[in-house]
Structure 1
Amino acid sequence: MHTMIAQSWSHLQELLFDDSWSPAISRYRSPFVFRGLPDSHFNLKTSLARLGGEYASLERHLLRNFRKYGHDSFDTTGPIWHWLTMAQHQGLPTRLLDWTYSPFVAMHFATADIRLGDKDGVIWKVNYHDSCKQLPEPMREKLENEGGNVFTVELLTELVRDLDAFAQLDQSDFFLFFEPPSLDGRIINQHALFSVASSASILMDELLNKTNTQFQRVILPAALKWEVRDKLDQANITERVLFPGLEGLSQWLKRHYSPRG
């Protein structure tokens, strides 16, 4: 694992935008996705895994009951990938992890919780192009035929109809990235995508090492957090934009007017 420590605001941007140049098209097109966390000791644990205990065995019950009691709010006959996205979006513990194509959105999530302002933050940086190499052959071929590196809900549905079939695609553990449908402005403004593992019981940290996917951890020192936070606010990377609506507005105002602890 390659860990880098940001020394300044400009150095942080250099680290996050590094390797963005694509010679094939002579454009800056980063092959990386990002996940920001406010404490560098936090790993890539899903909300499902954070339940603790025999959490993997609870997944089926959580999803069954979400589907059972939520039928008035979404189409329960639709692809599981669609309503699994809906479940994650509404706060149900799932095996999905949120990522973003935007380094600045990742910076936001690494600095938004000012209660952890005295902790070093971290931004995980994963090469989603490189991650395609560890996919089962049918999935890899599907992406190659589509000329893409990330799945859509439609592509996933063509290959697997449920999580059991997903796990049975390959004897080895693997993961993939997929773009959710644009359910609301939050997903759009956060430039969001999800990772999902073939097994609910294995953590993304382990999979990255196990599959030899290229990734880095960029440490955001506590001493630098407030500068980054204030400059993100000036650049309009705030809760008001990333969580459209009154809740996001309230979160932004509360944080913006809180004194530095």
Structure 2
Amino acid sequence: MKEIEIKSIDDFHKRIEKYRKSSWFKFRGQSDIDWELIPKAGRKPYTNVSDLSLFTHWKRRAITHLKKENNTEWELLAIAQHTGLPTRLLDWTHNPLVAAFFATSENTEKDGAIYIYNPNSVILHETIAPFEIEEKKKIKFHQPNSSSSRIINQLGYFSVHTNPKLALNDKTKDGTLEKLIIKKELKMELMYMLNQYGVNYLTLFPDLEGLSKHLEWFAENYEYWDNTFDEKA
């Protein structure tokens, strides 16, 4: 996997500029550079229970909370994923700024990473259900319907790990995979830039949780905004 270290805000802009004219590339940000590209259902302690079993129980009890009737299996799994259930889905986005947010918003004492993937194929959800994929050693990509406001605002995409313990890496990839390393010293400045561009908790999580997290972050960093303006900058 090709790895590139991002050394400055300008360097970050230059690195992502080449993807501007293509919609094929998918981006994922992780705030700890050592984390594997593996869905929640494939991480301990969630590996003790089948993700299909968890999803089956979730569907039975979630029905009273759903706004829409007759959701597809893909839509239900996406909703479950974005409300915290361990699933075989891993979140990606079309927007590198969204990925940068998730690479910098937590674990400020560790380097983060933005992964850039160009998959060779995408699952057509009209033709197969998420638990009917027979290739158990494959990682597929899926573009979800707009089943939640978070998916819409985050320009969401999913990698589907038929075996949740299977990490996306050089051995399992079916496409090109790159890694941008975000040094821990750059994280806070990148977060301030993203907030100025309208990429923050408030916009990526358009609900009460997102509102509260955004105001919490604003309060924690209140001293940053000093109302000065440098005309020479």
Q: If the length of structure 2 is used for normalisation, what is the TM-score? A: 0.85
Aligned counterparts of 2:39 and 2:98: Cα–Cα separation in 1: 19
CA RMSD between the two structures: 2.2
Alpha-carbon separation, structure 1, partners of 2:138 and 2:180: 24
Q: Within the alignment, does 1:156 sit opposite 2:120 as a pair?
A: no
Q: 1:122 aligns with which of 107, 113, 122?
A: 113
1:30 Cα deviation from its structure 2 partner: 4.2
Which one of 54, 57, 60 corresponds to residue 65 of structure 1?
57
Residue 147 of structure 2 aligns to a residue whose secondary structure is: coil
Does 2:166 match 1:202? Answer: yes
- Show CA shifts across 1:56-114 (max 9, x none): x521220121122223234786432121112112111001000000010111111112x
> What residue in structure 2 maps to residue 141 of structure 1?
none
Can you give the 5+ residue segments of structure 1 that lack an aligned partner in the other structure? 22-27, 133-149
CA distance in 1, matches of 2:36, 2:130: 27
1 CA distance for matches of 2:148 and 2:130?
24
Deviations 1:20-63 (A, max 9, x none): 36xxxxxx1242111111111111121112233744x5212201
> In the alignment, is residue 11 of structure 1 matched against residue 11 of structure 2?
yes
Deviates more, 1:241-250 or 1:75-84: 75-84
Structure 1 position 240, deviation (Å): 0.8
Aligned to 1:181: 145
Query: Given the alignment, which residue of 89, 92, 109 partners 1:96?
Result: 89
Partner of residue 24, structure 1: none
Q: 1:245 to 1:82 in 2, by over 3 A?
A: closer
The structure carrying a bigger helix percent of its residues is: 1
Aligned residue pairs, count: 221
Call closer, same or farther: CA 1:162–1:243 in 2, change over 3 Å. closer
What are the ranges of 5 or more consecutive residues in structure 2 without an aligned counterpart? 224-233
SS in 1 for 2:4: strand
Q: 1:233 and 1:162, CA in 2 relative to 1: closer, same or farther beyond 3 A?
A: closer
Match of residue 206, structure 2, among 227, 236, 244: 244
Give the share of equivalent positions with the same residue, in percent. Answer: 29
Distance 1:54 1:251 in 2: 29
Distance 2:220 2:114 in 1: 24
The yes-or-no answer on 1:51 pairing with 2:44 is: yes
Q: Single out whichever of 89-98 and 59-68 deviates more from structure 2.
A: 59-68
Counterpart of 1:246, as a letter, is L
User: The residue matched to 1:201 in structure 2 has which SS?
Assistant: coil
